[in-house]
Structure 1
Amino acid sequence: MSTPSTSTLFAQEHLVATIGEVAYYVPNSPSHLESTFRDFAARDDVFQTGFIQEGLIIIPTESEISGDDPVPDDLKEFLDSHSTSLVFCQGLLDVPEGPYFVRGNHLRQAWRLYEDETLSFITTVIAHDQDSFRAQNETSSFVKELIVQGAVIVGKTKMSAYTGSEVPPEKTIDYLAPFNLRGDGYQGLSGSSSGAGSSIAAYDWVDISLGTDATGSISIPAVSYGVLGIRTTHSAFSLEGVMPSVPAFDTLGILARTSQEILNVYRAAGKIGSEYSKPTQIVYPTDFFPMKNDQQQHMIEEFLHALESYLEVEHRRISLAEEWTKGGPDDARTVPLDKYLEKSGYWPNFYDGHHVYDEFISGYQKRFSKKVYTSPFMTSCWNEVTNAIFDECERQLGNDITKEERDRGLQECEIFSPWIYSKVLTPEVIMLLPLGRPGANYRDSVGNATAGPPSTTFSPIYFSTIIGAPQVVVPVGQNPFESRVSGNIECAPIVVSLIGHKGADVTLLRVLKATLDYHDWPSEVLTGRNIFHFGNNARNLARNPSGLLPKV
């Protein structure tokens, strides 16, 4: 009898599971198999005892089995009691451990089915006979790499049409928008990647959600759903195979419930090195702080003090506008910073955000002999609204903004970016930025029909976009409010944002994780109603269930 290889399989007619990383494993007794099955049941949320009933146990071997029967009598009795057979298979099987289906001559991973209660997904992903997944026209190179590293893609989440900011109740037309489980379950959405945020906030079986971020498509959902998010350094990851939105601003975005999950993505992509240096400065821009709500501002200051304590530095308050006036580029600083940047990101965002779809719009018209449908909200973004008759408008906002203005905006970004990196956001610096609402944002509230990104670029939402900086969003507290939906006291997520120098993504994530751990603050966001257990402290949170929400 030859010695089996390091992987063993067991199967059931149309079901298979692998037993991997067991060096020279030979099942010589029922206890060996039972121990393996218990291990699977403990580690794998898909495996169950049905996989060993009326099945096969397949042991890959390095050469053909010969000689005496290698199966002991007591093991035969065990197998017979489960109507299961033992099969030795010559050759190595390069498949990961876990439950499988057998379909024809192929092994297919068995995936658990979950109900999408929050309507986060637009479609699921299922296995195909010939390939790991159904053939698509193109899969992004980054997602391909994650699959190679062992990631399981469970589906594609809902997003706003044309990467706009469509939110309920009146802006989402083609399908019902995802639900936000936070608070009373009827809180609103924001940003285009609403399904990505909803899935992370609702389901503990979803570890990360991916998207692109041009002007808040990832960072803003992180705010609404109270989860961790990162807008990566521009061009840090390949966007090959990704539908563009605003090419000059597009970058990968990741949502998760822990910073460690995001770090795992960077590690899988080979983006984490062994070197790590603590930032030595914290910049607090008075152009954007303090926030109007006292409770929200206080929670952000609590985090700021915790950050100072971990880094052993005090924050530095500066006015970006004043720094610009004193030391900006000679040919630009005569214009106040808020005026200089007013349309720098706005023009490219709307010009490219419209014209990137030119080929699709014209192709749709040719193929179907009719205009492509756009919701009233997206029509208002694309059209110069006149008398609210969208279809009769001839001047589109994307066209109303000229290419010259678009190019001018990008040129202004190219002038501002090296200045901010050399004078303020140097490699040893991290900067705080404010984001988010302090309380209720009801799903059924009809807002401004043309609401979208800020009309001025000099804002926290556009800031990391126009300089290509990494931006991390982290929940730091929860603010109670009386809900008109539930009639109870509910909690709104309170977040803070950190940005750093280009390429400082991992530094931001490590600083964030270390700060939370250093002060024994919760480092994992919960799924469901609240982002943290309620606690009787300034930030209304606790590591473990310890307090109850106050009653109305």
Structure 2
Amino acid sequence: PVVVISVLAGLSSVAQILESIKRFAAVDDVFSKSFATTLVLKSDPTFNNADLSAKLRSSALLSAVYYSHPKSHVEVLPSGPYFLYGGGIHQAWRLYEDELDSFIFSVVPDDVLKPKRQVLRYTVLESFGSSGTWRNIAEPSQEKPLAGARMGVKDIFRLEGVKLTMMSRPWIELYGPDEESADYVKKLISLGAVIVGKTKMASFASPEEPTDQWIDFHCPVNPRRDRYQRPSSSSTGAGVALAGYPWLDYSIGGDSAGSVRAPAPCSGLFSLRLSFNSTSMRGIPANLSKFDVVGQLSRDLDDLHHTVAHTFDLNDNSTQFPSKILYAQEFYPLVNEKQQAMTEEFISILEGFLGVKRTLFSMTETWDRSPLKEAEGKSLLEYLEKTDVRRSILTGCHMASTNSATITKKFGKEAYVGPVVRFRWNVGKGISRDEYETYLDHLAVFRNWFGQHLMSHDPQTLSNAILIMSYGMPDPEYRDEPNLPAGTFISLRKNSSPVFHAPQLVLPFAQMPYHSKISGRDEVRPIASTMIGAKGTDLMLIKLTKAAFKKASWPITINIGRLMYPLADNLRNVAPSSENSANTYAAVRQAVNAVKELETPLMELSTEEVGRSCVVV
């Protein structure tokens, strides 16, 4: 084990180099004392290191000092812990056990020194923990790509060199490793992200719930509460991993009909369904192509804003916040009175921050007062009849006809899918292309009507209003209880943001007490509300929430493990913000930047290379 450090203009003394090593120990969970006894100094070949070398060798803390003279900036290894073996230097990785069973597999890059504009190829890490039960997840040093964000990606994203499983054994039999990564994954890597593995999901990103609907693979374990609550469906592993593992910075999922929104309240996380067409979907199998987007899960609103701002095609030129809070009578009041009381407090802090009162309205009555000729006199419910069912056609036609036929031809048998997926595919087969096109036309008319009469773009605020909507269940949902038979679709209410092509920000803000039949003690369940803005207001929604929460002394950082927030004796059962952000990527970036401030390379590096030095190595 060795520690690699650049000999730079700012690190010209033994004291400064030892201080740099101390910083590694403070911010890098891969680093340990064993790395600190042997030092490899990177320097320009012309650098006079004789005096520094003598002083370092006289230090009682170091047993050996070596020198490395890279020939070009491409060959420069970022500072951090490594291993010297067989005449080469090798990157140090730390293995963590996936005790929550949230990853389908871990991955490591084949060539860590590949030029930054070439996409990495990955290999599956086949390793189990000491118990032989849980897979290991390989974690690189956060100091080797300085401030490199550790990310898990949902198993809908193609990753060069590894298989896309879709959580289906027949699918795994049918296809080999992918030859190209999804465009969004390429973007993440180009900006320095470290892809540590693929997270589990319900098969074909469907709404399967544990445990009896997960057939081919076992559903991950929700770390919240009594650990036997359902983690919801689709982006299940993404939520579980981020809620349970401090070494993971981000979880990336997708959202068609709730895939990152539904797991967020269950796992107690912030999540954002992005505006439609805010990034390329190439390399992600279509689920509902007219509504599919990349989704983000996060423990911290600063972290969420950071990754959204850097990885999506969005411009936030808003100078003010919206002046209207839409409160739909179709959505409220909630059935659970305690949940409604908590939601009232959520709305109240928004009202106080924006200086406006909510606008009560009825969507159906507004439609009746402002009829469209395309609706031919139909009510809103009549005009949108069966739209939730027709949403399944793309899944049915694409997945069922293509892959089932291929499997039958190749293996001489039908492809097995679970009852939820089978039901939806069968419904999709029964809907004609003309019916589907009519459905899309109706939704486009409804989307335009909503923009004209209720929520429109504004040059200063980007959206003249925000729509408030609850998300998640207030009562416990035990994973050992049977599910209802397959045969239901998500209501149009839950699908408002996909229909509007709009962003929806999920915000867990309260904790509902309940007595657990599992643990035999009182537990708390996350309670969430959401905000929907006009298309393109993704960053504005995050900024608005941060400002309103901070003014109300509400936390913008979520904890890992059993409790989302520290408990307190108030309506929300949440303690005021403590500014504790030790487990956020923002905190790591701040600590890493302290190291970077000490280092200014002697070699000629372009501004772009220095700014993007957090590529996987």
Return the alpha-carbon distance in structure 2 between the equivalents of residues 288 and 146 of structure 1: 37
Structure 2 residue aligned with 1:120: 102
Q: 1:350 to 1:488 in 2, by over 3 A?
A: same
What is the SS of the residue equivalent to 2:29? coil
Return the alpha-carbon distance in structure 2 between the equivalents of residues 328 and 77 of structure 1: 86
Asked whether 1:430 is paired with 2:473, we answer no
AA matched with 1:17: V
Structure 2 residue aligned with 1:446: 482
Q: Is the 8 A contact 1:201 1:226 kept in 2?
A: yes
**Unmatched 5+ residue regions in structure 2?**
115-119, 123-159, 162-178, 457-462, 579-617
Structure 2 residue aligned with 1:51: 35
Q: Is the 8 A contact 2:503 2:538 kept in 1?
A: yes
193, 206, 210: which is aligned to 2:235? 193
Return the alpha-carbon distance in structure 1 between the equivalents of residues 510 and 47 of structure 2: 62
- Structure 1 residue 168 displacement after superposition: 1.4
Structure 1 residue aligned with 2:59: 78
- Structure 1 residue 154 displacement after superposition: 1.3
Asked whether 1:162 is paired with 2:204, we answer yes
Asked whether 1:99 is paired with 2:75, we answer no
Return the alpha-carbon distance in structure 1 between the equivalents of residues 506 and 555 of structure 2: 15
Structure 1 residue aligned with 2:442: 412
Q: Is the 8 A contact 1:79 1:85 kept in 2?
A: no
Asked whether 1:206 is paired with 2:242, we answer no
AA matched with 1:36: S
Which aligned pairs between 1:99-498 and structure 2 lie closer than 5 A?
99-101=81-83, 109-129=91-111, 131=114, 132-134=120-122, 135-136=160-161, 137-269=179-311, 271-273=314-316, 275-332=318-375, 334-347=377-390, 349-357=391-399, 358-382=401-425, 396-426=426-456, 427-450=463-486, 452-454=488-490, 456-457=491-492, 459=493, 461-498=494-531
- Structure 1 residue 364 displacement after superposition: 2.1
CA distances 1:469-513 after superposition (whole Å, capped 9, x unpaired): 110100110110111111111111100011010101111111111
**Unmatched 5+ residue regions in structure 1?**
1-11, 383-395, 546-552
Q: 1:472 to 1:508 in 2, by over 3 A?
A: same
- Structure 1 residue 80 displacement after superposition: 9.2
**For this pair of structures, how many residues does the alignment match?**
509
Q: Is the 8 A contact 2:395 2:428 kept in 1?
A: yes
Q: 1:218 to 1:72 in 2, by over 3 A?
A: closer
Q: 1:340 to 1:106 in 2, by over 3 A?
A: farther
Return the alpha-carbon distance in structure 2 between the equivalents of residues 409 and 127 of structure 1: 44
- Structure 1 residue 184 displacement after superposition: 1.0
Return the alpha-carbon distance in structure 1 between the equivalents of residues 359 and 428 of structure 2: 40
AA matched with 1:69: A
- Structure 1 residue 524 displacement after superposition: 1.1
Q: Is the 8 A contact 2:388 2:489 kept in 1?
A: no
Q: Is the 8 A contact 1:353 1:398 kept in 2?
A: yes
Return the alpha-carbon distance in structure 2 between the equivalents of residues 16 and 274 of structure 1: 44
Return the alpha-carbon distance in structure 2 between the equivalents of residues 328 and 127 of structure 1: 57
- Structure 1 residue 324 displacement after superposition: 0.4
- Structure 1 residue 109 displacement after superposition: 4.0
Q: 1:107 to 1:451 in 2, by over 3 A?
A: farther
- Structure 1 residue 105 displacement after superposition: 8.6
Return the alpha-carbon distance in structure 2 between the equivalents of residues 243 and 116 of structure 1: 26
AA matched with 1:144: K
Q: Percent identity?
A: 31
569, 575, 578: which is aligned to 1:542? 575
Return the alpha-carbon distance in structure 1 between the equivalents of residues 512 and 62 of structure 2: 58
Return the alpha-carbon distance in structure 2 between the equivalents of residues 162 and 196 of structure 1: 15
CA distances 1:355-406 after superposition (whole Å, capped 9, x unpaired): 2223222222222222211123322333xxxxxxxxxxxxx22211222221
Q: 1:147 to 1:170 in 2, by over 3 A?
A: same
- Structure 1 residue 165 displacement after superposition: 1.3
The structure with more radius of gyration:
1
CA distances 1:139-160 after superposition (whole Å, capped 9, x unpaired): 1112211212121111110001
What is the SS of the residue equivalent to 1:154? strand
Return the alpha-carbon distance in structure 2 between the equivalents of residues 462 and 72 of structure 1: 65
Q: 1:16 to 1:148 in 2, by over 3 A?
A: farther
Name the structure, 1 or 2, with higher relative contact order (CA <8 Å, separation 6+). Answer: 2
- Structure 1 residue 56 displacement after superposition: 4.6
Q: 1:180 to 1:26 in 2, by over 3 A?
A: closer
- Structure 1 residue 517 displacement after superposition: 0.5
CA distances 1:220-254 after superposition (whole Å, capped 9, x unpaired): 11121121011000001111211211100101110
AA matched with 1:52: A
Q: Is the 8 A contact 1:209 1:254 kept in 2?
A: yes
TM-score by length of 2: 0.78
AA matched with 2:245: Y
